[in-house]
Structure 1
Amino acid sequence: MSRLRIVVTVVALAVAGALAVILPTSPASAAACATPWSSSQVYTGGMIASYNSHNWQAKWWTQNEKPGTAAVWTDQGTCTGGGNPTPTPTPSGPTDSCLFPNWVAGRAYVTGDIVRYTNGRNYRATHDNPGYDPTVSTWYWEPYTCTGPTPTATPTPTPTGPAGAFVVTEAQFNQMFPSRNPFYTYNGLVAALRAYPAFANTGSDTVKKQEAAAFLANVNHETGGLVYIVEQNTANYPHYCDATQPYGCPAGQAAYYGRGPIQLSWNFNYKAAGDALGIDLLRNPNLVQTDASVAWQTGIWYWMTQNGPGTMTAHNAMVNGAGFGETIRSINGALECNGGNPAQVQSRINAYTRFAGILGVTPGNNLSC
């Protein structure tokens, strides 16, 4: 299992973020503006960033929560010499126009963007995101009501095609995992795809099938062929609570052990995945081992959004031609790649080439790391 891979990323980001701290000057005069706030930066308690010509101090760990709109930030007063520009306010009231652009899966959106979804309703981005589904990722979107004219054109359909479409059929899935645990249902996997429409749905048909095969091959390795739902070494269970986090471990000291197809572990990873998916996994971690769709969603969340010890997400590795080897690096490269454990790498490659064969595509280049 590869439980350490996300931890390395979180620690690295926290350390990198710490380098950006600029303490305010004497309160007797306006302080110099600190480094401008960034939605992608991880901030920990005590760090300072500037926004709208004010310096703001983080009370606890935060990412993608805008100063002035989230309780995590304390206003340190006005500052001079830089900072983020004041954003243009979103129109409101009777002059609102409802002619918003259609939402597009996989297109990057920033906080405040308003889109028209395929159900005919409007949604406003509450956090920057790379094109998450507004009806699934409620952390990133909220319904938006306007009073102006509405468009007459039919909204652009989601590029995933028919609801539930997936490049792997149920028969192929069963062929890949003949001894799988009944918990890992095909229907649960298909339902989870709605959270990330770009998954196995980007590029040519060959690339789509290669990505699906790559994801399932890594999942196969992590779970012993979709047999294990939870981490088998129970002695590790109490180790996955980082009590220094401001939210602590509300589900209990030993509640955040590895679960699901990518073996999600640690309280801060449960929180991050839950925030992204609109599910309170911090207080309900057992959902990952009792709800098949939630379990699959956490695996796809990691695949689509986390670099791990690599330099890119596993999704980007497959759709941008970096190859299957880079997905191994993103998942467990610190322990397996560069000669770390060639037998484990080969095990993943063997599964990938077999699954690609079942889907009728070539595995492509750069299979190893």
Structure 2
Amino acid sequence: MPITQQQLLQILPNAGRQAGVFVPVLNAAMGKYGIVTRLRIAAFIAQIGHESGHLTRLVESLNYRADRIVALGNAASPGSRWRALVPRAAELAGSSVRMGNAVYGGRMGNGPEASGEGYLYRGRGPIQITGKDNYRACGDAIGVDLIGNPELLEQPQYAALSAAWYWSVSGLNSLADAGDIQSIGSLINTGSKGKVPNGAADRLALYQTALRVLA
């Protein structure tokens, strides 16, 4: 059951003109990865809508104030990367490049901080594909060179495919079938089940709206 532009705007009203751009590529991507039932489509649109600001943000900015870096770092687990950034808050504040390299350097297949790969392979697409290893796997799956051209994930066609690919390989169709919206949000936002994701209330509200619209 393909989604229409009118339905997408009812679910994600802030999408504006982006709705018309995304409808055909979302339908193609959802069809390719089995996101084809009401429950699956509702869950998928709700999650990508939340993550991307209603399809208006396809690149992670990483532009943080110093106090925000400190707050996030202090809330993170001891020994985590975010906790280690607290003493560097003033240095990293206001620079997406420095922040991206500090947060993601030496992780997820990226080279060390000085390599610049942390920022280069920062989150892109509606579900924020992040890290060189994930860019490589996603590119192999959707048939484009994302290592050499990571900015392709800023284009609607590849952005939609990347989100649907991630959804499929993460087993989120089965969770959508079960209506387990919190676990879906947890996996997308935190990487594991059992944690309350950021924006849990908004994710649920968007899902409930999508169910009504797609009824």
TM-score when scaled to structure 2?
Answer: 0.70
Matches within 5 A, 1:5-44: none
d(CA) in 2 for partners of 1:334, 1:243: 14
| Counterpart residue type for residue 354 of structure 1 | T
Mapped partners of 1:277, 1:285: distance in 2? 13
**Structure 2: segments with no counterpart, 5+ residues:** 63-95
User: Which residue of 197, 203, 209 maps to 1:354?
Assistant: 209
Match of 2:176 among 304, 312, 318: 318
CA pair 227-243 structure 1, distance change in 2 beyond 3 A: closer
Residue 45 of structure 2 corresponds to residue 216 of structure 1: yes
Aligned to 2:127, what secondary structure does the other structure show? coil
Q: Does 1:272 align with 2:137?
A: yes
Q: Which residue does 1:328 correspond to in 2?
A: 185
1:252 is displaced (CA, Å) by 5.4
**Alpha-carbon distance in structure 2 between the residues aligned to 1:228 and 1:276:** 23
Larger fraction in strand: 1
Identity among equivalent positions (%) equals 28
Q: Which of structures 1 and 2 has the larger relative contact order (alpha carbons within 8 angstroms, sep 6+)?
A: 2
Question: Following the alignment from structure 2 to structure 1, what is the Cα–Cα distance between the partners of residues 159 and 3?
Answer: 18
What is the match of residue 81 of structure 1?
Answer: none
Task: Describe the shift of the 1:252–1:348 C-alpha distance in structure 2 as closer, same or farther (beyond 3 A).
Answer: same
Per the alignment, do residues 181 and 285 of structure 1 end up closer, same or farther by CA in structure 2, a change over 3 Å counting?
A: farther
Instruction: Pick closer, same or farther for the CA change 1:272–1:187 going to 2, 3 Å.
Output: same
AA paired with 1:265? T
Amino acid at match of 2:188: I
Any idea what SS the aligned residue of 1:286 has? helix
On the 8 A contact 2:3/2:23 being kept in 1, the answer is no
RMSD: 2.8
Determine if the alignment matches structure 1 residue 179 to structure 2 residue 14. Answer: yes
Query: Match for 2:183: what amino acid?
Result: E
2:161 is the alignment partner of 1:297: yes
In structure 2, give the amino acid aligned to 1:346. A
1:258–1:209 Cα change, 3 Å: same
- The code of the aligned residue for 1:214 comes to A
Instruction: Classify 1:282/1:171 alpha carbon distance in 2 versus 1 (closer, same or farther; 3 Å).
Output: same
Verify the 8 A CA contact 1:240 1:267 in the aligned structure 2: no
1:327-356 per-residue CA deviation (whole Å, 9 max, x = no partner) reads 223212568944x46x72122111111111
Aligned to 1:185, the other structure's residue is in SS state helix
Equivalenced residue count is 175
Deviations 1:273-332 (A, max 9, x none): 11112211111100001x2110000000110002xxxxxx2111123x253233223212
Q: Is 1:344 equivalent to 2:199 in the alignment?
A: yes
**Which residue of structure 1 lines up, in the alignment, with residue 5 of structure 2?**
170
For the 8 Å contact 1:167–1:209, the answer to whether it is kept is no
Pick aligned residue for 2:35 from 194, 199, 213: 199
Partner SS state of residue 351, structure 1 = helix
Q: Judging changes above 3 Å, is the alpha-carbon distance between structure 1 residues 353 and 244 closer, same or farther for their aligned structure 2 residues? A: closer
Contact residue 242 and residue 268 of structure 1 kept, 8 A: no
Where in structure 1 are there 5+ consecutive unaligned residues?
A: 1-165, 201-207, 307-312, 361-369
Q: Is the 2:120–2:150 Cα contact (8 Å) retained in structure 1?
A: yes
Corresponding residue for 1:189? 26
Residue of structure 1 equivalent to 2:104: 240
Which protein is richer in helix relative to its size? 2
Shift of 1:244: 8.9
AA paired with 1:222?
A: E
Name the TM-score, length of structure 1 as normaliser.
0.43
Aligned match of 1:53: none
